[in-house]
Amino acid sequence: MHTTIIIFFGLVLLALMLFIGEKIGFSRQTLTYSFIVLWLALTMINGAVGVVTAGQSVTTEMVVGSIVFGVPVAALVLFMVLSTET
């Protein structure tokens, strides 16, 4: 359940960054790189907390972290591809 919540948080963060960032006037390229760096940092922090406090193994956290990081980034790539075709 925690993984689902974190992925949902990542998708909400992505939507907010794209919406607010474009309203402010940032380019999509800047927003894309910013989101990827921010989301990678947050995913690594989440994994570290899982290892230290929840007692998860590093291998398990790396697999789950890949999924947690990959789903919002895949949504970003899909958004970028679909928005450039229209």
DSSP 8-48: HHHHHHHHHHHHHHHHHT--HHHHHHHHHHHHHHHHHHHHH
* Local confidence pLDDT in tens for the 86 residues of the chain: 999 999 999 999 999 999 999 999 999 999 999 999 999 999 999 999 999 998 899 999 999 999 999 999 999 999 999 987 65
State residue 34's pLDDT score: 96
Q: Could you tell me the pTM of the whole model?
A: 0.91
